[in-house]
């Protein structure tokens, strides 16, 4: 039966919007308009937009229902949305009108937007990719929404004190989020802990009884996700953990008030912080509970919605697709099996068929330490019934493996869901592979390595399951919103079509040799650099010249991302100036930004090294107007939107074979930055699209890195002894030149770089890196050559829009289609 379509009532014209803003200041904020602050205006505008988004969200819901559309649900432990107000204004095409309206009211809309906090719901590329996907799904009118956790504090807010990272609570909800919609009426109850007793039904079938479990309440909050032009509004549903009200009252009435409060605190801890530390047992348990909470709440919500609209669960995969964003939601496979077998009394074989047809898994990492495992004992404590199901899945799966490859115990050990050595552990990546009908990597190189290096036995057993879906980024957020001057130039040159089809940006390629267009393109870059230079001055009190090359390394701090290689090059440039009187080919401002995981000592020491080198370099009068080093603290989406449009040279220099894809590389190139990078992740495909002459590739290929690892013949001391530049840099670092207060502070870095076991092989790529950097410096001095390369980078990035990525997922994996407004 078709639903009557919801008819939106709110208008987007100037007077209607202004009237609603005044109403919200009075009725929602309880203030008079004349006394409203800048922040009040921002909240009122957000609420006025929310009114319109809610209407469109209800219309979108009815549109999907009437079309009986299959829906995709994206399960992700994190979402890095960025500020929502400006993004919504851009996608609803209301930004120019609102800027003018706010000027008329005596306010600067840019300052109003700057008062908004970044939602602290994610950490890095994983969460930002998820946010880009949601934007593209809505823009493409595709029935897809996200599920996640409503973290109260997020990861952490980064502060820098004496060059060291300090982690501060990021209470992003302190002032509320006007856009979100609380849904307490749709809260779900999920069981956790307890024990399982064996029982049997009247026919003698095994009927496990999960007993003595505790209740955990998941309260959903919806954040509307509006597509470009505002036609389709999907949503991101985030669950906040609360104690069961009945359970709390029972304890309270017994007179144990302290225990009642304690139970409430422990329950609500589940959604307090993103990625609690696993260095203590409680943190590990909390992390596992978080992952189960995400999965169980989301599936309970999906199955409830499905039951209200459909009949038999045998048709579940015809209407529901669930994408697992890395291994964090891998328990989806087990929870869906538990639901079908225990609650719906479905036969195991049929339930397994439905589960595998519903679930698909994206792998995001090749690093062994990032592939999650959970101890069998911990799983048995937290989720006793789920452990039983995992063991049954494993038994049946290994039986299939044994039939396929009899007498091969090594293969059985590798493919088992249970790691037997060093205490039994459940391999969540293996569980996700076995329980999904599709397994994809996120770049062509990464997908090849997933099959060859990570899951070779699984790929041999079921090769059709494995595929590639190269990542992308949304041009709405990263060009239209983040770089409005470039957006205006693109629109003037090729029309507005690029906003939803970035391939159309290729139209500027025919202007790359036009001196007038080059000048205008570089004028946009110059304005963005001046804007960032002002921010650096205000934040750090460091003067940087927009005439310099802005060389940017902005991403999570990790040894494989090789911020350390960048620092070694900076030291080399400094020594050339200070000790040898050799001036660099181009003046440089090196800009770093990124967070280190709280427990990652080496990464935090690299942050300290960046600041120590900066202190020496920036204070030396010999480097004036030649070399500056800055670190911008607390990297987040809103800061990235300042940095990326101003970048000249983007550092994408991970060791070949370690970066799954990267998306920062794409954002920088879309905005006219040139890339210096290795043949790693999506750099390989970007190189193919942009052209080698417009890309600074250096270093080893994956095959060379693998050769070193297989033969164990990487000998960095030989490089040190044979290369004057390497020796001079490491000697300066080890002697305390950049840490005179404590000369031995960075000797551990030197010792590690010279170790035969240094897995990221910094010194192997050093010579190639500094030579390629010199070539980039020479090109930067030729403004015509550099402008041409920058234009072609923007022009040839069409493939790397998430609109393309979503179409591929939708057609190849999810089997969903667009349901546009008629």
Give the residue numbers marked as catalytic: 364, 555-556, 561, 663, 667
User: Taking the mean position of all CA atoms in its chain, how far away is CA 203?
Assistant: 49
Residue with tokens 């309206």: 101
- Rounded to 5°, the CA angle 171-174-180 comes to 100
What's the token pair of residue 744? 């031995």
Strand partners, 763: none
Instruction: Outline where 115-210 has alpha helix (H).
Output: 125-139
**770-777 long-range CB contacts below 8 Å, 24 or more apart?**
770/569, 770/572, 770/725, 771/698, 772/676, 772/696, 772/697, 772/698, 773/569, 773/676, 773/696, 774/585, 775/696, 776/549, 776/649, 776/674, 776/676, 776/696, 777/549, 777/584, 777/585, 777/586, 777/588
Residue 238 host element (H or E):
strand 233-243
Degrees to nearest 5, angle at CA 808 with 803 and 811: 120
Tokens representing 722? Answer: 């044979």
CB distance 788 to 515 below 8 Å:
no
| Cα–Cα distance measured from residue 102 to residue 105, given in angstroms and rounded to the nearest whole number | 5
- Alpha carbon distance 286, 276 (integer Å): 7
Helix axis angle, 95-105 to 38-66, nearest 10°? 150
Residue indicated by tokens 């205008």: 520
- Burial category of 389 from C-beta neighbours within 10 Å (exposed 0-12, middle 13-18, buried 19 and up): buried
Residue 427 CA to its chain's centroid (Å): 23
Place of tokens 């999960």: 210
Cα–chain-centroid distance for residue 159?
21
Q: Percent helix, strand, coil in the chain (nearest 5)?
A: 55, 15, 30
Token output for 471:
């990542």
Dihedral angle computed from the Cα positions of residues 667, 671, 675 and 680, in that order, rounded to the nearest 10 degrees: 20
The phi and psi torsions of 585 (rounded to 5 degrees) equal -65, -30
Angle among Cα 113, 634, 566 to the nearest 5 degrees reads 125
**CA contacts within 13 A on the Cβ side of 602:** 15
């Amino acid at each position: 039966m078709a639903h009557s379509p919801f008819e939106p009532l709110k208008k987007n014209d100037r007077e209607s919007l202004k009237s609603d803003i005044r109403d919200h200041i009075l009725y929602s904020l309880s203030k008079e308009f004349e006394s409203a602050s800048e922040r009040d205006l921002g909240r009122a505008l957000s609420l006025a937009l929310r009114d319109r988004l809610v209407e469109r969200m209800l219309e979108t819901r009815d549109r999907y229902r009437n079309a009986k559309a299959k829906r995709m649900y994206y399960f992700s432990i994190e979402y890095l949305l960025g500020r929502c107000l400006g993004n919504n204004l851009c996608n609803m095409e209301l930004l120019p009108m609102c800027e003018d309206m706010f000027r008329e009211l005596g306010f600067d809309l840019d300052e109003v937007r700057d008062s908004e906090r970044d939602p602290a719901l994610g950490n890095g590329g994983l969460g930002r990719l998820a946010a880009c996907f949601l934007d593209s799904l809505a823009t493409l009118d595709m029935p897809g929404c996200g599920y996640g956790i409503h973290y109260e504090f997020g990861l952490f807010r980064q502060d820098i004190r004496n060059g060291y990272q300090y982690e501060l609570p990021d209470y992003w909800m302190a002032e509320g989020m006007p856009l979100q919609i609380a849904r307490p009426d749709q809260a779900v109850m999920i069981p956790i802990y307890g024990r399982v007793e064996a029982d049997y039904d009247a026919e003698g079938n095994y009927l496990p009884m999960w007993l003595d479990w505790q209740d955990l309440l998941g309260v959903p909050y919806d954040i509307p996700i509006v597509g470009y032009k505002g036609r389709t509004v999907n949503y991101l549903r985030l669950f906040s953990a609360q104690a069961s009200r009945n359970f709390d009252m029972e304890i309270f009435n017994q007179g144990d008030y302290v225990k009642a409060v304690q139970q409430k605190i422990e329950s609500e801890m589940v959604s307090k912080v993103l990625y609690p530390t696993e260095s203590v047992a409680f943190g590990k348990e909390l992390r596992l509970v978080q992952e189960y909470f995400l999965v169980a709440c989301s599936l309970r919500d999906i199955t409830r919605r499905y039951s209200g609209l459909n009949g038999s669960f045998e048709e579940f995969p015809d209407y529901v697709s669930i994408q697992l964003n890395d291994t964090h939601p891998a328990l989806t496979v087990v929870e869906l099996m538990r639901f079908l077998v225990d609650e719906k009394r479905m036969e195991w074989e049929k339930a397994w068929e439905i589960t595998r047809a519903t679930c698909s898994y994206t792998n995001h990492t090749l690093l062994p330490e990032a592939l999650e495992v959970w101890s069998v004992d911990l799983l048995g404590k937290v989720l006793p019934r789920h452990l039983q199901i995992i063991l049954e899945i494993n038994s049946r799966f290994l039986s299939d493996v044994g039939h396929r490859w009899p007498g091969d115990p090594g293969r059985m050990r590798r493919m088992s869901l249970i790691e037997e050595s060093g205490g039994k552990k459940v391999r969540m990546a293996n569980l996700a592979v076995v329980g999904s009908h599709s397994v994809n990597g996120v770049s062509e190189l990464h997908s090849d390595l997933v099959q060859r290096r990570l899951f070779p036995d699984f790929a041999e057993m079921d090769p059709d399951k494995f595929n590639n879906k190269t990542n992308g980024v949304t041009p709405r957020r990263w060009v239209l919103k983040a770089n409005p001057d470039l957006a205006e130039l693109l629109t003037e040159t090729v029309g507005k079509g690029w906003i939803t089809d970035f391939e159309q940006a290729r139209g500027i390629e025919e202007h790359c040799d036009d001196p007038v267009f080059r000048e205008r393109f570089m004028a946009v870059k110059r304005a963005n650099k001046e804007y960032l230079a002002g921010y650096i001055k205000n934040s750090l009190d460091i003067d940087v010249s927009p005439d310099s090359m802005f060389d940017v390394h902005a991403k999570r701090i990790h040894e494989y991302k090789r911020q350390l290689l960048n620092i070694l090059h900076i030291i080399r440039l400094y020594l050339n100036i200070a000790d040898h009187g050799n001036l660099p080919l181009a003046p440089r401002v090196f800009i770093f930004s990124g967070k280190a995981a709280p427990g990652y000592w080496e990464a935090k020491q690299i942050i300290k090294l960046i600041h120590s080198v900066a202190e020496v370099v920036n204070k030396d009068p010999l480097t004036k107007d030649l070399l500056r080093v800055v670190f911008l603290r607390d990297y987040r989406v809103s800061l990235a939107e300042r940095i990326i449009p101003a970048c000249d040279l983007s550092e994408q220099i991970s060791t070949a074979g370690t970066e799954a894809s990267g998306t920062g590389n794409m954002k920088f190139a879309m905005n006219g930055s040139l890339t210096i990078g290795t043949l790693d992740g999506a750099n390989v495909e970007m190189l193919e699209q942009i052209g080698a002459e417009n890309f600074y590739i250096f270093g080893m290929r994956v095959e060379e890195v693998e050769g070193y690892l297989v033969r164990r013949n990487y000998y960095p001391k030989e490089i040190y002894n044979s290369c004057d530049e390497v020796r001079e840099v490491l000697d300066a670092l080890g002697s305390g030149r950049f840490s005179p207060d404590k000369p031995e502070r960075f000797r551990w870095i030197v010792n590690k770089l010279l170790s035969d076991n240094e897995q990221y092989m910094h010194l192997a790529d050093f010579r190639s890196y500094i030579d390629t950097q010199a070539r980039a410096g020479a090109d930067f001095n030729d403004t015509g050559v550099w402008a041409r390369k920058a234009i072609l980078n923007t022009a040839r990035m069409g493939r790397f829009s998430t609109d393309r990525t979503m179409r591929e997922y939708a057609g190849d994996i999810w089997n969903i289609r667009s349901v546009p407004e008629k």
